[in-house]
């Protein structure tokens, strides 16, 4: 597992391009500058790791585009000590960004192969979520609820009710909703039964699927 000056140079360029695309949160940009994204990809894609693109990972899934990861992290205004539930661990790249932002992270993945691979890999880089869960994100993780923030990194055909109910009052949930393309949607919990909803543009994710695989 090597991280070289060349990789660092490519990361600096990536950060410049993310700024040009409108990302301003310095803590998010610093996290992206630091995390060796090439190590999260299969070695055949390593050369492309610092392009602002999504790439295939195991189990027919993708590592999200850096812009998307930066955008979701920025919108959620993650603060040190925030309790964050992540749906769709995937490669663990978004998880690493959340951990660099000093969140306490609970992350769920439904694909066993990815769950196994990433739960072994991330700690080797020093990234330690509070919990790796093999499970169905539609159900959330009621045992450890409520959460300050919930981030969904797969396209959901509808808003899963259990996730809204596991959000703290004052908390934020960010979820892409739709079919082939999704609308990034932010919910802010105003009280036990009131949510504010903001639509933040179109994105494309792999689908959020029901049940473990």
Which residue ranges make up the site for ligand SAH (CB under 6 A)?
A: 61-64, 87-88, 90-91, 93-94, 108-111, 114, 136-138, 153-154, 206, 208-209
Cβ proximity of 15 and 35 under 8 Å: no
Nearest distance from residue 190's CB to ligand SAH, in Å? 26
Using CA atoms, how far residue 209 sits from 129, 139, 146, 157, in Å, is 23, 12, 23, 9
Nearer to ligand SAH, 196 or 210 (CB): 210
Nearer to ligand SAH, 179 or 193 (CB): 179
Nearest distance from residue 176's CB to ligand SAH, in Å? 10
DSSP codes, the chain: ----HHHHHHHHHHHHHHHHTT---HHHHHHHHHS-GGGGS-GGGGGGTTSS--EE-STT-EEPPHHHHHHHHHHTT--TT-EEEEE--TTSHHHHHHHHTT-EEEEEES-HHHHHHHHHHHHHTT---SEEEES-GGG--GGG--EEEEEE-SBBSS--HHHHHTEEEEEEEEEEEESSSEEEEEEEEEETTEEEEEEEEEE--PBP-SS--
Nearer to ligand SAH, 132 or 138 (CB): 138
Nearest distance from residue 90's CB to ligand SAH, in Å? 2
Q: Which two tokens stand for residue 144?
A: 């450890």
Nearest distance from residue 89's CB to ligand SAH, in Å? 6
Nearer to ligand SAH, 94 or 182 (CB): 94
Q: Which helix (H) or strand (E) holds 61?
A: none
Nearest distance from residue 4's CB to ligand SAH, in Å? 22
| Residues designated catalytic | 64
Nearer to ligand SAH, 169 or 187 (CB): 187
């Amino acid at each position: 597992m090597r991280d070289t000056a060349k990789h660092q140079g490519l990361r600096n360029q990536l950060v410049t391009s993310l700024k040009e695309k409108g990302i301003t949160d310095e803590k998010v940009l610093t996290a992206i500058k630091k995390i060796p994204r090439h190590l999260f990809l299969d070695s055949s894609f390593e050369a492309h790791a610092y392009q602002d693109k999504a790439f295939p990972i195991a189990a027919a899934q993708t590592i999200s585009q850096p812009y998307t990861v930066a955008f979701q992290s920025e919108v959620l205004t993650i603060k040190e000590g925030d309790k964050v539930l992540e749906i769709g661990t995937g490669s663990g790249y978004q998880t690493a960004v959340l951990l660099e932002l000093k969140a306490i992270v609970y992350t769920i993945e439904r694909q066993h192969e990815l769950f196994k691979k990433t739960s072994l890999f991330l700690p080797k880089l020093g990234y330690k979520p509070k919990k790796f869960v093999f499970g169905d994100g539609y159900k959330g993780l009621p045992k450890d609820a409520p959460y300050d923030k919930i981030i969904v990194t797969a396209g959901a055909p509808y808003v899963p009710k259990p996730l809204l109910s596991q959000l703290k009052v004052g908390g934020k949930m960010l979820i892409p909703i739709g079919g082939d393309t999704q609308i990034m949607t932010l919910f802010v919990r105003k009280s036990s039964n009131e949510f504010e909803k903001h639509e933040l543009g179109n994105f494309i994710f792999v689908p959020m699927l029901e049940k473990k695989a």
